[in-house]
């Protein structure tokens, strides 16, 4: 039996086929005629997660993984989560800070633990109650005790992560979540995620600094009639998208007020096509985009809709225009997300538009800079243990690609399946060359790969050596094999 077979051992074929994703060839997951508009007062005011802020260059915190009892839209649940809540605390740090994060696994041992392979002499374990931590989108070392996703923390154990954030790290919105291969979808689909903010020069622009900040962690907790998520079949139950653990919260703003929304798609598999629409869709309030995936744009961009696939983030400014009730919707898959009530006239705040500070990590990559090119293919294999693949292989600990430090590569990826795949790579972001409906030149760390389409991007493997991965951020696909290891070496 191969390592990948062991990873998939607990995933029954029927459960897998139920969870292939929202945009299958059968159209599972939504109805094109579905009315997204609901009563504007069906939710409570949007609440912000507890914020933990660094002091004197250090944030020293604890994240406790545990079974959490709480209520989601009136449903009593008992789900895996952080610190007893549906969403983790927001970690607020600056470029140049140190983040010390002690991960404590206080989950009961409800499911078997499997030893699957050895990475650098350390045994890797998997199981629904084994966990670890990934800082999604951060440019930090992949070596322990930093962002090493090959660490496995069993129930009753803890691990002292420590991350050195580069002084010139791109400022924006990131997030943290569990990342044990074979269990990632179960844990994130239960709520094991939280926002992470890195502050920098963009936050000092007066018109941006004056805006009220709203963190919005969009999750898709799934549970059965008992309020639990015991297996993969449960990940296909329900269709609600929650924001900060709330269903259909109400966001209030004054006419003329500007707010900065930090949007995070922390779903295990649901893509969101965000719009702010007035009743009967006659008016749309625009987003002014500052950052995508934590990466500041060269200049602001105004859009009427914003696609965020699982793993994507966006920093946007929103200005209250005509008083009235608007609806934040997530498209066919995301459904209704929130109600926005623009109240009577307040202070007419400046909506910032124009150039944004340059970042040394985000300099354009020209064709002349490329040192190596790769072609790879995302695929799907039917069988008793159906799998999603990269270059016809399911994930294995044994075959990371060897890439020399300071290489600059161009990758052409062909999605040879009928399903879209949100591609995500750890440590180093990439710059889009073509495909996917994304404007060329955009820097991302997560990008939708539509069915039967070719995507080309370029990336620099800079600063850090070590082993990490790229994978599909439909986390059910990742757990079922669509992940590949990378090892960046000194030579």
Domains of the chain, residue spans? 3-30+44-204, 207-345, 360-489
Q: Is the dihedral of CA 234, 238, 240, 246 positive or negative?
A: negative
Between the two ends of the chain, the Cα-to-Cα distance in Å is 34
- Determine the CATH number of domain 360-489: 2.60.40.420
Domains 3-30+44-204 and 207-345 are alike in CATH topology:
yes
CA atoms of 334 and 240, how far apart (whole Å): 7
pTM of the model: 0.91
Quote the Cα angle for 358-361-367, to 5°: 100
Give me the pLDDT at residue 153, please.
97
Q: Is 7 helix (H, G, I), strand (E, B) or coil?
A: helix
Q: Do 298 and 291 contact (CB within 8 A), yes or no? A: no
Q: What is the pLDDT of residue 172?
A: 98
Domain 207-345 homologous superfamily, CATH: Cupredoxins -  blue copper proteins (2.60.40.420)
pLDDT of 279 reads: 63
Gyration radius of the chain over CA positions: 21
Q: How far apart are CA 242 and CA 331, in angstroms?
A: 14
Closest CA to 137 of 103, 159, 163, 100: 163
Cα 271 to Cα 245: distance, rounded to the nearest angstrom: 18
Spatial distance between the Cα atoms of 386 and 38, rounded to a whole number of angstroms = 39
Q: What is the pLDDT of residue 2?
A: 41
Distance CA 168, CA 325 (A): 40
pLDDT by position in tens, the chain (length 491): 344 343 443 333 323 333 333 322 222 222 233 333 333 345 799 999 999 999 999 999 999 999 999 999 989 999 999 999 999 999 999 999 999 999 999 999 888 888 877 888 888 888 999 999 999 999 999 999 999 999 999 999 999 999 999 999 999 999 999 999 999 999 999 999 999 999 999 999 999 999 999 999 999 999 999 999 999 999 999 999 999 999 999 999 999 999 999 999 999 999 999 999 886 555 678 999 999 999 999 999 999 999 999 999 999 999 998 898 999 999 989 999 999 999 988 899 999 999 999 999 999 999 999 999 999 999 999 876 778 999 999 999 889 999 999 999 999 999 999 999 999 999 999 999 999 999 999 999 999 999 999 999 999 999 999 999 999 999 999 999 999 999 999 97
Token couple for 387: 């799998």
pLDDT at 38: 38
Of the chain, the percentage scoring pLDDT greater than 70 comes to 90
* CATH class of the 3-30+44-204 domain in this structure: mainly beta
Whether 454 and 438 have beta carbons less than 8 Å apart is answered as: no
Q: What is the pLDDT of residue 17?
A: 35
């Amino acid at each position: 039996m191969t390592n990948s077979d062991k990873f998939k051992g607990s995933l029954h074929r029927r459960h897998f086929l139920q969870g292939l994703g929202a945009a299958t060839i059968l159209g599972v997951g939504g109805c094109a005629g579905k009315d997204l508009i609901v009563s504007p007062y069906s939710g409570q005011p949007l609440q912000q997660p507890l914020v933990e802020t660094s002091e004197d260059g250090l944030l020293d915190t604890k994240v406790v993984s545990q079974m959490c009892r709480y209520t989601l839209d009136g449903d009593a649940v008992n789900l895996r989560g952080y610190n007893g809540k549906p969403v983790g605390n927001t970690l607020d740090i600056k470029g140049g800070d140190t983040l010390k994060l002690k991960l404590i696994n206080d989950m009961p041992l409800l499911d078997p633990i499997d030893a699957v392979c050895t990475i650098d002499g350390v045994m890797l374990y998997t199981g629904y109650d084994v966990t670890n931590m990934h800082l999604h989108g951060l440019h930090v070392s992949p070596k322990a005790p930093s962002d090493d996703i090959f660490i496995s923390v069993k129930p009753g154990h803890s691990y002292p992560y420590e991350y050195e954030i580069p002084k010139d790290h791109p400022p924006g919105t990131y997030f943290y979540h569990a990342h044990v291969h074979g269990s990632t979808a179960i844990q994130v689909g239960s709520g094991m995620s939280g926002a992470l903010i890195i502050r920098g020069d963009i936050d000092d622009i007066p018109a941006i600094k004056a805006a009220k900040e709203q963190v919005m962690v969009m999750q898709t907790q799934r549970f059965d009639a008992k309020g639990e998520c015991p297996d993969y079949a449960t990940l296909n139950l329900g269709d609600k998208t929650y924001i900060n653990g709330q269903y259909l919260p109400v966001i209030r703003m004054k006419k003329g007020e500007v707010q900065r929304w930090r949007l995070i798609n922390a779903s295990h598999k649901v893509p969101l096509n965000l719009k702010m629409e007035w009743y009967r869709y006659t008016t749309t309030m625009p987003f002014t985009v500052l950052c995508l995936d934590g990466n500041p744009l060269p200049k602001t961009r105004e859009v009427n809709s914003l696609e965020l696939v699982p793993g994507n983030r966006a920093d946007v400014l929103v200005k209250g225009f005509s008083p009235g009730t608007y609806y934040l919707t997530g498209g066919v898959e995301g459904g209704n997300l929130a109600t926005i009530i623009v109240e009577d006239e307040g202070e007419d705040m400046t909506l910032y538009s124009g150039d944004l500070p340059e970042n040394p990590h985000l300099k354009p990559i020209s064709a002349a800079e490329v040192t190596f090119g790769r072609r790879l293919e995302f695929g799907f294999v039917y069988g008793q243990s159906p799998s999603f693949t990269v270059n016809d292989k399911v994930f294995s600990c044994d075959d990371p690609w060897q890439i020399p430090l300071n290489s600059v590569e161009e990758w052409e990826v062909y999605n040879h399946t009928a399903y879209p795949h949100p591609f995500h790579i750890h440590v180093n972001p990439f710059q889009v060359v073509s495909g996917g409906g994304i404007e060329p030149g955009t820097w991302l760390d997560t990008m939708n790969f539509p069915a039967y389409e070719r995507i080309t991007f370029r990336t620099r493997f800079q600063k850090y050596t070590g082993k990490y991965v790229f994978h599909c951020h439909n986390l059910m696909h990742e757990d079922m094999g669509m992940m590949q290891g990378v090892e960046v070496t000194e030579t």
